Amino acid sequence: MSGPHVPVVWGGLLVAIAAVQLTFGMHGTALALLGGAGITAVLVGAAWGARARLTAPVTTTAASAATSPGAATAAAGVGAMALGSAIGAWLSITGGALLLIGVVQVVRQGRR
Amino acid sequence: MTELATGAHADASELSLLLTPTDHKAIARGIGRVATVFFLMSGVLALLMRAELAEPGMQVVSTSAYSRLFTMHGSGMIYLVVTPVALAVGVYLVPLQVGARRIAGPGAALAGAWLYGIGGAVMFSGFFTAEGPGRATWIGIDPLSSTTGTPGAGMDLWILGVAVATLGQLVLAACVLATALRLRTDGMTLLRMPPLTWTLVVTCLMAVFAFPVLIVTMLLLWLDRHGVSIFIGGDGAIAYQHLFWFYGHPVVYVMFFPFVGAVAEVVSTASGRPLRAYPLFVGSLLLFTALSMSVWAHHMFTTGAVTNRYFALTSTALVIPAGIEYIELIGALWSRTLRMSLAVWFAVAFLVQFLIGGLSGIWVASPAIDAHANNSYVVVAHFHYALFAGSMFGLFAGLYHWWPKVTGRLLGRRFGVVHLVLGVVGTNLTFMPMFLAGERGMTRRVGNYPGSGLSTLNLLSSIGSGVIALSMLALALNLWRSARAGRPADADPWGGLTLEWATTSPPPAGNFDGPVPAVRSAAPLATAAGSSA
């Protein structure tokens, strides 16, 4: 059994438990929430497994940059946008700009 | 790799390494520090509540302020303390345990940690608004959370703070899950992954599939408060509860499973061998978490809008995997070679106290009993036994076990014993009387109550909360003394079985100075010692 099997097995369990619901009568919301999560888990695991068969295994020796200011900037932008909803639009706009700057930094760091 | 990592660290400034590190260990330590601040804040709110409840009548705060206290106490502890700390345990230890040099998506993990901290700050910033912070309970229940029920910007900040902090935790969970499933070293098969890593895999599966629902629900609630009609009328309130509890019950297990894993590591290390029938343990974790996703509507039994028999069945079925795990853990304790340490004593306290939380969960899994217990102090006692007496004691077991690995220093035994004894006494003195108070009709979320038959029980709970505060003081002193002048710890002070004990304390950038030890069993260090002897 490999990594992708884990979400497939787990998602299968969710689908099976959701199916038991049918014997107690149909309840759309509950069935959709649990069954939807289960089917999504199975699909994610299956897609990951298919991709893993086509690509080389991931090595754990790849180095990463020691810091990522862009990631923190993007997160600060999201926080400023949230806080801006109470303080004023100017802070939300500033947050949006920070988010954009952060994302650009992260993308540029990834390309290096 | 070590050279590469060390070189990369040398290029970065001190400030940048402090604020924007991609080393998973630094990220986890940062989450731990922020969670400690939120724990203190939420703990003070709990002490204020207990001061108010020490006798009948309103003496300390107003009714409205009391609503804000219990809302922010519950929200702080759940969204900003226990859940992120559970994930931080994974951020720190999972890469080490699976022999990875780094966490998957280190930049994303850093962003997740920042989102969590910022979300918490946004949530608590409601205290600075004219109307005060959110007061619609930790579940933000609709229609109490509507603009009519809770007007003002504080509630908006609560909603957005929850969404942002949970988004951060979702990202952290995805990084931990991807690390365990994709970055394992050679020989680390799924069934050789240590118990803590397995508990974090299932925890993160729940987080990845349940947390997005909360984030969307919070955004819908925010829109609902700003003129977009979404949760309208009785059906809207029921829809809100379905969406919220689809997150709200799995998160209880997100706050619990990593500490089951910590206890499993503590007892298996103390007994000097891996858990028996390990595939059964792993299978029970998968079943337990799958069932955990399917029990949310037992919080809605009294609404009459859900299929009670189905949700009673799934909720009661949890005892099967839970029982298997208990037997596994007790089996590990049942060993002639068991070495008792403070971590093991905390693990024993976890097992006993969580049992009370778990067994009282079976009561409220029954719709007939829940009809009586719903909204009473029985429920308050039940979930505090699960989350404080259970999860927090599991966390303490893990803290005494891994603190030397994280800091390179041992914790003191004397302060540890004081922490344990006061912690056990305070916890049971606080929460056991709540069962009786609930049975006698005490309603939750009220600051005032009729005196007859309830005042002594409430006074006992309030005294107990003070004892818990003293136990936390003993822990704080122990941590402070250890950090300043604790005895140095070597790489493996307990005779550990798993890979994190094969590296220095604390581990270097890149996690392992030399090659990662070969993994040929579920206890790679025991195998290595056996083959070298």
User: pLDDT of A11-39, one tens digit each?
Assistant: 999 999 999 999 998 788 899 999 999 99
Q: Pick from A6, A10, A71: which is nearest to B111 by CB?
A: A71
User: For residue B297, which residues of chain A lie inside 8 Å, CB to CB?
Assistant: 30
B205·A82 Cβ contact <8 A: no
Token couple for A80: 């400023």
**What value does the mean pLDDT of chain B take?**
93
∠ Cα B39 B41 B43 (to 5°)? 65
CB contact at 8 A, B449 and B442: yes
The size of chain B, in residues, is 533
Q: Give the pLDDT score at A4.
A: 86
Nearest Cα to B326, choosing from B347, B312, B341? B347
Cβ distance B306 to B235 under 8 Å?
Answer: no
**Cross-chain residue pair A68–B20, CB shorter than 8 Å:** yes
Q: What is the mean pLDDT of residues B302-315?
A: 93
Q: Please name the residue that has the structure tokens 């280190």.
A: B106
Cβ-nearest to B114 among A10, A34, A76: A76
Chain A residues inside the 8 Å CB shell of B310: 20-21, 24, 30
pLDDT at A66: 87
Which neighbouring-strand residues pair with B443?
A: B376
Residue B14's closest chain A neighbor by CA?
A: A67
Nearest CB to A63 within list B1, B107, B182: B1
Q: What is the DSSP string of A3-59?
A: TTHHHHHHHHHHHHHHHHHHTT---HHHHHHHHHHHHHHHHHHHHHHHHHHHSPPPP
Are residues B412 and B481 in contact, defined by beta-carbon separation less than 8 angstroms? yes
Give the confidence band of B397 by pLDDT, cuts at 50, 70, 90.
very high
Residue B238's identity, in one-letter code, is I
Q: Cβ contacts (< 8 Å) between B182 and chain A: which residues?
A: 3, 58
User: Is there a contact between B181 and A64 if contact means CB atoms under 8 Å apart?
Assistant: no
What's the pLDDT band for B416 if we cut at 50, 70, 90?
very high
Pick from B222, B294, B510: CB nearest A17: B294
What pairs with residue A67 in β-bridges? Answer: B21
**Boundaries of domain holding A102:** 61-112
pLDDT at position A55 is 75
* Whether B182 and A33 lie within 8 Å, measured CB to CB: no
Please tell me the pTM assigned to this model.
Answer: 0.94
pLDDT of residue B241: 95
User: Could you tell me if A16 and A47 lie in one domain?
Assistant: yes
pLDDT given for residue A57 in this prediction: 63
What distance in Å separates residue A94's CA from the closest CA in chain B? 15
* ipTM of the prediction: 0.93
Give the nearest chain A residue to B100 (CA atoms): A60
Mean pLDDT, residues B206-230 taken together: 95
Q: Residue B499 corresponds to which amino acid?
A: L
- On whether both A72 and A96 belong to a single domain, the answer is yes
A20 contact residues in B (CB cutoff 8 A): 310, 313-314
The single-letter code of the amino acid at A69 is P
User: For residue B357, what are its two tokens?
Assistant: 């939380």
Q: What is the pLDDT of residues B230-249, one digit of tens each?
A: 998 778 999 999 999 999 99
Q: Which of B8, B110, B156 sits opposite A72 (nearest CB)?
A: B110
Residue B30: the pLDDT is 97
Using an 8 Å CB-CB cutoff, list chain A residues near B108.
Answer: 71
Query: Are residues A67 and A91 located together in one domain of the fold?
Result: yes
- What is d(CA B525, CA B529) in angstroms, rounded to the nearest whole number? 6
**Beta-carbon contacts of residue B528 (< 8 Å; ≥ 6 apart):** B502, B517, B518
Give percent of chain B above pLDDT 90: 86
Is there a single domain that holds both residue A105 and residue A51? no
Cβ–Cβ gap B190/A1 under 8 Å: yes
Which of A59, A67, A99 has the most B C-beta neighbours within 10 Å, making it the best mutation to test the interface with B? A67
- pLDDT attached to residue B531: 53
For the four alpha carbons of B360, B361, B367 and B370, in that order, the dihedral sign comes to positive
Span B315-341, average pLDDT: 91
CA distance B207 to B391: 17
Give yes or no: residues A23 and A13 share one domain.
Answer: yes
Q: How far is CA B200 from the centre of its chain?
A: 11
> Shortest CB distance from B181 goes to which of A6, A24, A79?
A6
Rg (CA), chain B: 23
Instruction: Give the pLDDT confidence score for residue B2 in this predicted structure.
Output: 40
- Nearest chain A Cα to B284, which residue? A10
Q: In this predicted model, what pLDDT tens digit does every residue of B133-174 receive, in sequence order?
A: 999 999 999 899 999 999 999 999 999 999 999 999 999 999
Q: Is B21 helix (H, G, I), strand (E, B) or coil?
A: strand
- My answer on whether A1 and A49 are in the same domain is yes
Q: Say if residues B507 and B93 touch (Cβ distance below 8 Å).
A: no
Which tens digit of pLDDT belongs to each residue from A69-104? Answer: 999 999 999 999 999 988 899 999 999 999 999 999
In this complex, the residue of B23, B99, B125 whose CB is nearest that of residue A66 is B23
Residues of A in contact with B19 (CB under 8 A): 69, 72
- Residue pLDDT, tens place only, B83-114: 999 999 999 999 999 999 999 999 999 999 99
Question: Got the DSSP string for B369-396?
Answer: HHHHHTTBHHHHHHHHIIIIIIIIHHHH
Instruction: Let me know the angle formed at the C-alpha of B446 by B440 and B449, rounded to the nearest 5 degrees.
Output: 50
- pLDDT higher than 70, residue B10: no
Q: What is the pLDDT of residues B168-195, one digit of tens each?
A: 999 999 999 999 999 999 999 999 999 9
The number of angstroms, rounded, from the C-alpha of B60 to the middle of its chain's C-alpha atoms is 30
Residue B488 one-letter amino acid = P
A49 with A30, same domain: the answer is yes
Contacts of B90 (CB under 8 A, 6+ apart): B172, B173, B176, B197, B200, B203, B204, B258
- Residue A89 shares a structural domain with residue A55: no
Subunit contact B310:A20, Cβ cutoff 8 A: yes
- Residue B289 and residue A10: Cβ atoms within 8 Å? yes
The mean per-residue pLDDT over the stretch B331-355 comes to 92
DSSP B501: G
B51 touches B60 (CB < 8 A): yes
pLDDT tier at B530, thresholds 50, 70, 90: low
Taking only the tens place, the pLDDT of each residue in B205-216 is: 999 999 999 999
Higher pLDDT, B529 or A1: A1
Structural domains in chain A (count): 2
* Closest Cα in chain B to A87: B153
Nearest CA to CA, how far is A97 from chain B (Å)?
Answer: 16
User: How many alpha carbons fall within 13 Å on the CB side of residue B391?
Assistant: 24
Q: Kindly tell me if the per-residue pLDDT of B428 is higher than 90.
A: yes
Q: Is the pLDDT of residue B4 over 50?
A: no
d(CA B135, CA B139): 10
CA distance B276 to B265: 13
Residue B263 neighbours by CB under 8 Å, 6+ apart: B329, B347, B350, B351, B394, B397, B398
- Asked whether residue A65 falls in the same domain as residue A90, the answer is yes
**Same domain, residue pair A15 and A25:** yes
In chain B, whose CA is at the least distance from the CA of A82?
A: B160
pLDDT of residue B3: 40
| Contact yes or no for B96/B194 (Cβ under 8 A) | no
Same domain, A54 and A72: no
Residues A103 and A79 reside in one and the same domain: yes
